[in-house]
Structure 1
Amino acid sequence: MLDSLPHKTVEELNRDVILVEPSSLERLLTSFGYFMPIISGFKRAVQRIAYELCEDCAKHHIKYMEVRYSPHLFSNSLSDPEFAQTPGTFTPHDVVETVNEALARGMKDFDIKVNTILCCMTNRPDWSKEVVNLCKWYKCKGVVGIDLAGQEFEPGKHYDDCEHKQAFREAAKWGIRRTVHAGEIGTSEAVKEALDHMQAERIGHGYHAIDDPELYQRIVKEQVHLETCPISSIMTKACDKDEQKHPLKQFVKDGVNYSINTDDPVVLGNTLTDDYKFAQDMGLSDEDIIRGIFNAVRSSFASDTDKKLMEEELVKVYGQY
């Protein structure tokens, strides 16, 4: 089996997976193609990844996390038949069960709270109905939201009743929280469509919302939460390489509801600590970063009780904010 793997060492794998120079979102997504076909379909691999994620986050003093993933990508529908289990025996439903079980162990062992967000993928609208059904099934069992990820959803090229929008309307009806990747490398129109037609409560990245003054003022006024990822935004060329022109600086100045996140540590080789340091290098103060942490808690998809407890803990550390 090992002789058939495309990479013989971790170093060889990292060479192809981790972005070390600014490239593109497409290049970032290409990295998944190097390791997902090997991982998908392997229950023990999925268990280990979920469990060790808790360990890694605990090392950086993260107390609460909302991790997002595509159940279909971890199932054996895409796995290499040489390595995977019998086709159909590790379904998206099984993936969610496996992740939940592993996270439960990780939460206990590393004193961290984790909820999950299940992703629809823009290039696979045929998966979206099952994704929202999984969100409904596990709504009170660790799954707190639904997301749309992958290559950015293009406004105007999809009918109002496309599978993605149907899934998000169903999610809203069932009280499932909603976030959409939009305005990263795409236009401000993608952000507007996510808000108006997918009832998004949070926007993944959202940098180009700033290009539409009317939309931007709406985001400020309605306190739509923007999940910014400073390092990722430079590595995908979503934002100008001149860090002083980064939209996050304007978000801070204008009182936008933002948070600072890692995006994908496997592909970017980063940690949350790295992104905080990067934000400081851009000119954000400690107070700006702390504000983002409070924003993240208040805009999280955790229960009101959990959010209250988390905010009380933050006040003990940082003071009233």
Structure 2
Amino acid sequence: MSSGNYSFKELIREIPKAEIHLHLEGLISVDTIWNLVQENHLEFDGSDSKENLKKRFNVNSLDEFISLFLNVIQSSFRKEQDIVHLITDAQNYLVRNNIVYAEIFFAPSKFVQSGFSFPHMADILEAGSKKIFEESNITVKFLVDVSRTFGPENAEQNLDLVINNPRKSIIGIGLGGAESKGPAADYKAVFERAIKNNLKVVAHAGEDIGPESIWAALKDLNVDRIGHGISAIQDEELMTYLKDNQIPLEICPTSNLFTKKYVQKIEEHPIKEFYNRGLYVTLNSDDPTLFSSDLCEEYELLYENKIFTEDEIIDIMKKTVYAIYADEKVKKAIWKKAEKVIKKYR
């Protein structure tokens, strides 16, 4: 129990929250994949039973995770309309965690290569965003992934698709995939063009490569935020730069524990050191289904292991709200509602 007659879990669940590092495909439930397997008559290792399918989700490295992402999850979709299932699972997740504003990555490359129509997919995302807002009063925006997995030429093609198919819910691009697949500099032209077209730009960096990857994302891509960024702890100059420029770090502790690249246990995670030094820390879940940890559980993990106090957790919640791609009026409105809940409990 926290101070007062309430539990920390109750407080965290009831506070309206934002999440800014979240993959749409990582929200899909095993039940949904199983339904798609049956509906689309799919055959792959693990497709013979729901139990074996669940076992496919037990991966032990970032490379295995990306393989699962591409070869099981995305491969289960055989037509554009299947993506509606992703919207449904996303809505359920957001409601369950009382997330009122979310910016979600969507990776279209494999779908487009399979013959899916990007305009049709964009329409589904737009309709899904509208549906979630109308039914649950939750704002959802999308960042289209230009993954290192598929290379710079594919990234250019994805950017063309975004520019040529504008939708209110699609607000920018994000560089994802394993950092080892290619340096940020390879995508400089893509990001320059995205910025010229008034798109928001973010990049995964410092997740499985050292601080040089973060520097490259900042200097070569001019990103607004850094996805993960945990290897910044190795570079004093970089930490000073991140602090001075208040560049939001989209930190996902359970995801980092899973990859085990830089963090073996939660006590080793640099998030507290970043916070203590004044870096801009936000908290996110990354891929809730795959890592079996939702946003509320991320906050609980940090609190229950005494990484942060309740006041510090609330401050990180506020920082996450103020890192969203929305005007100040929207941010203030969200946090005003949060403060009402906090006042009720405390």
- Give the TM-score taking structure 1 as reference length: 0.86
For 1:172, give the aligned amino acid.
I
Whether 2:151 is the aligned partner of 1:127: answer no
Q: Provide the C-alpha distance between the structure 2 equivalents of 1:231 and 1:52, rounded to a whole number of angstroms.
A: 20
Alignment: residue pair count: 300
Q: Deviations over 1:203-226 (max 9, x none)?
A: 000000111110111001111100
**SS state at 1:8 partner:** coil
In structure 2, distance between residues paired with 1:294 and 1:74: 36
1:306 aligns with 2:343: no
Q: Which runs of structure 2 are paired with 1:1-321 in the superposition (5 Å)?
A: 2=38, 4-6=42-44, 7-19=47-59, 23-32=60-69, 33-39=71-77, 41-75=78-112, 77-78=113-114, 88=115, 90-124=116-150, 125-137=152-164, 141-152=168-179, 160=185, 162=186, 164-282=187-305, 283-318=307-342
Deviation at 1:299, TM superposition (A): 1.2
Structure 2 unaligned spans of 5+: 1-36
After TM superposition, the runs of 4+ consecutive aligned structure 1 residues lying more than 6 A away are none
Q: Report the Cα offset of residue 137 of structure 1.
A: 4.5
Following the alignment from structure 1 to structure 2, what is the Cα–Cα distance between the partners of residues 249 and 307?
Answer: 24
Identity %: 23
* 1:139 to partner: Cα distance: 5.3
Deviations 1:133-174 (A, max 9, x none): 34434556111221000111567x57x5x3x22111111222
CA 1:50–1:317: 2 relative to 1, 3 Å: same
* CA 1:318–1:145: 2 relative to 1, 3 Å: farther
Q: Structure 2: how far apart are the matches of 1:154 and 1:251?
A: 27
Deviation string, structure 1 residues 43-65 (Cα, Å, up to 9, x no partner):
23201211331122101111111
Preserved contact between residue 253 and residue 266 of structure 2 (Cα < 8 Å): no
Q: How far apart in 2 are the matches of 1:72 and 1:94?
A: 14
Paired residue type of 1:284: F
Could you tell me whether the CA contact under 8 Å between 1:153 and 1:182 is conserved in 2? no
Give the distance between the partners of 1:305 and 1:240, measured in 2 at CA.
37
The answer for the alignment partner of 2:5 in structure 1 is none
Judge conservation of contact 1:54–1:107 (CA < 8 Å) in 2.
no
User: How big is the shift at 1:178?
Assistant: 1.2
Higher relative contact order (CA 8 A, sep 6+): 2
CA RMSD of superposed structures (Å): 2.1
Report if aligned partners of 1:72, 1:92 keep a CA contact under 8 Å in 2: no
| Alpha-carbon contact 1:153-1:190 (below 8 Å) kept | no
Q: Which has the higher helix share?
A: 2
Segment drifting more, 220-229 vs 245-254: 245-254
Q: Deviations over 1:105-128 (max 9, x none)?
A: 122122211111111010222221
| Distance verdict in 2 for CA 1:122–1:4, change over 3 Å | closer
Shift of 1:281: 3.3
Q: Which amino acid aligns with 1:264?
A: D
